[in-house]
Amino acid sequence: MRVGLLGGSFNPIHRCHLSIAHSAQQLLQLDRILFVPTGDPPHKQPGTLAAAPHRYRMVELAIRLVPGFALTDIEIRRPGKSYSIDTVCAIQQEYGPDAALFFIIGLDAFLDLPSWKNAETLLTSCRFIVFSRPSVTFRTVAAIPLFHSIREETLIALDAAQQERADVVLSSGRSLTFLRLPPCDISASDIRRRVQQGDTLANLLPPSVESYILREGLYREDSERT
């Protein structure tokens, strides 16, 4: 089985998250996309997230009718800090040694990978699928020593839209895939701001998620939640 792991705070989950999941599933021929809502991520300040049960439920509502999409509460259940290396190892154990894991991540977050716990081990534990983000260029990857084996010409071609996908081999021998996806200007922070100000949420969220937010009164008081 080929399993894509899509983690995030999903605060709230919106149409761009779903679009990324669909693109990765199709382009990498993944059997399953496993959504992994964060519990207490080490790179975020405590108290900045909506309650985990709300975020979990919103993802559940958003994907419940989508074939091949699934959800896990593995990071929500884990006490204390959650690290990606621990999550990947646990999911590998759950799915078995024959399952191939694909770690789906935005380019901006990928650039911070060297600071993650056991980053090099994580790179060899699964295949990274790195999708484009409007705020950064693929070329910035070349400046990171951990990725010195990636040809800068390939990254430049992605930035110039001369190619939409690049499969590269790292010095460890593990493969990594870069995807240039259509830009999406929806952000969770903008959605939260709209909720607080009473603005329309049309076409930003699955209807079931929008209804849940309004019914539960989420994001009406704290515009700083992430």
The DSSP letter of residue 140 is G
Residue 39 in any domain: the answer is: yes
Q: Residue 55: which CATH number? A: 3.40.50.620
Q: How far apart are CA 173 and CA 106, in angstroms?
A: 22
Residue 41 DSSP class: -
Dump pLDDT digits (tens) for 127-174.
Answer: 999 999 988 999 999 999 999 889 999 999 999 999 999 999 988 888
Distance CA 151, CA 220 (A): 47
Tell me the pLDDT tens digit for each residue of 72-122.
999 999 887 889 999 999 999 999 999 999 999 999 999 999 999 999 999
Residue 7, in any domain of the structure = yes
The pairing of beta strand 175-179 with beta strand 165-169: antiparallel
Q: At 84, is the secondary structure helix, strand, or coil?
A: helix
What is the tally of structural domains in the chain? Answer: 1
Q: Residues 46, 84: contact at Cβ < 8 Å?
A: no
- The answer to the question of residue 71 being in a domain is yes
Instruction: Evaluate whether residue 85 is within a structural domain.
Output: yes
Domain contains 223: no
What would the pLDDT profile of 33-77 be if each residue is shown by its tens digit?
999 999 865 555 545 578 899 999 999 999 999 999 999 999 999
155 CB-near residues (< 8 Å, 6+ apart): 137, 138, 139, 141, 142, 166, 178
Q: Which residues span the domain enclosing 36? A: 2-187
Q: Given its phi and psi angles, is residue 8 left (phi above 0), alpha (psi -120 to 50 degrees) or beta?
A: left
> Is 194 inside any structural domain?
no
Residue 13 domain-assigned? yes
